[in-house]
Chain A
């Protein structure tokens, strides 16, 4: 992987306001509002503010990782990806550089919501536990990174905003990030559990309870990673064959 390229991608990401609003601003704001909206009880075995903290941290990190697709699509519109194909940067290097930049933005987006949880709701974890929590969420976001790349290569410039915005909102909604799945009807919970994002947040919540995600969640995430990874690779190859 070309380190100059990755650094350039990270720097450009941190200069894109509309991207940072969804990765940093929205999750923080929603955490501050929703962490007080469900009382002081427990949800899924952990306190409400902690539950919402994990949901909103996941939401921010998901925004950062998923945003990779929009960045690829924008570069396809201006033809920059074609220019890069005339360099020694490989196609794999191009895509992985974008993905790494997405994860690099995801780290501070997790940290911001975690910090708000610690400051406003006294969520008290050891440094090691914070780190494992963050790492679990990031690892579980792999299928979302593949989804972003896939959309980046199949979306047309005129429908990109609508398609990616729609998919992104549905993922967050049916991942139980905005509204806890405990308030959904049973059939809808089953739908959520067939989709990847529920399990991303679950990976974080299990860490807080001293567990790991478990085979069901790992299986769902792995299946989505394979399916979306294949779709992304095929869309990439088709795009580069056409030019």
Chain B
């Protein structure tokens, strides 16, 4: 996973989906195919979709500017795939609207503005990869040359293969290639790496990033938190059909609350029943979790709003503290905190964080 982190993109976004470049200018519209200046790549407004008594998507608003790489993050059943289907016009919303580059989804698709990898989709049989690419090229008003499609998706070696002879990961790479055929301005990927092994996943995101580096827009649904963290500029967290967080990866992480200090307390302090309360009242500490007695003392986790302040106070109060680790909240901490809070709104913040830490360990 560190390989993904190392390749993180350098982009900045301000607030909710209004990205700017470092110099404060709006990013240029890629492709030059007539997107109106300032127009949105994706514009979902008050989308709602129910299946019987189940509310799959509940008043989702999502605006993605051209050039953004956005992760749609959420647990299974959060409404990611329904949102993607509504965005692409594969399903009709009960209320609300979806627009892609200002166009109805079907029109944007027919014009080749959008490439998509749908969830758990397969390929038809009795055909080869290069024949499929050839077919898809004929189904768009304009298309990349076949050789370029194969090269961009790094599947030149698969060109002559029958689709039924491909592994799950190879099938996904071919489906990615097909999504690139119309040379789209927006790429929509619904859990694209689901069938891939770690190495293939890495290669896949490299291909994706290379594609997007031209300033193009991508929206991908995933429940792999590290992918969202490493690949996306912006993370939209969905839970139970609602957007529960929307911001840069750093902002979403911050929502879960700063950093965590982990350390081992000396035996004497650990034996004192008042230690937990004392730790909890330290400046900058928001939550305390004390783990089981170990051989040398007790492992303690402190959820912090200000870890610098907390660490100074901790060392002043318990000079024998050792094995100190300070780490930034991982995106999965944030994710669990956000979705857990949403599950039980009555839980107070600290309680939720502590519960979440128990789950996380």
Contacts and interface: CB of A to CB of B under 8 A. Distances in A.
Interface in A63-117: 74-75, 77-80, 82-89
A4 interface: yes
Interface string B127-146: 10001001110111100000
A243 interface: yes
Contacts of B109: 85-88
Interface in A1-36: 2-5, 8, 11-13, 15-16
A79 to B, nearest CB: 4
Nearest to B117: A83
Most central of A83, A84, A85 by chain B CB within 10 Å: A83
Interface string A39-81: 0000000000000000000000000000000000011011110
B206 interface: no
Contacts of A211: none
Contacts of A88: 109-112, 139-141
A186 interface: no
The dominant DSSP class at the A interface is: helix
Contacts of B111: 88
Interface in A174-227: none
Contacts of A8: 127, 131, 134-135
Contacts of A86: 88, 90, 109, 114-116
B121 A87 contact: no
Interface bracket on B: 20 to 34
Contacts of A84: 139
B122 interface: yes
Contacts of B88: 86
Most central of B91, B110, B127, B138 by chain A CB within 10 Å: B138
A78 B138 contact: no
A242 B92 CA distance: 8
A241 interface: yes
A242 to B, nearest CB: 7
Contacts of A11: 126-127, 131
Given A86-B88, A86-B116, A5 B139 contact: yes
Given A5-B139, A8-B135, A86-B109, A78 B126 contact: no
A4 B139 CA distance: 8
A87 B178 CA distance: 11
B123 interface: yes
15 contacts: A4-B139, A5-B135, A5-B139, A8-B127, A79-B121, A79-B122, A82-B121, A83-B116, A86-B88, A86-B115, A87-B136, A87-B140, A88-B111, A88-B139, A243-B85
In the A-B complex, the 4 residue pairs with the smallest Cβ-Cβ separation, listed nearest first, are A78-B122, A4-B138, A79-B121, A87-B139
Interface of A: 2-5, 8, 11-13, 15-16, 74-75, 77-80, 82-89, 241-243
Given A11-B131, A79-B120, A83-B178, 10 more contacts: A2-B139, A12-B124, A13-B126, A79-B118, A80-B124, A83-B175, A84-B139, A85-B89, A85-B109, A241-B92
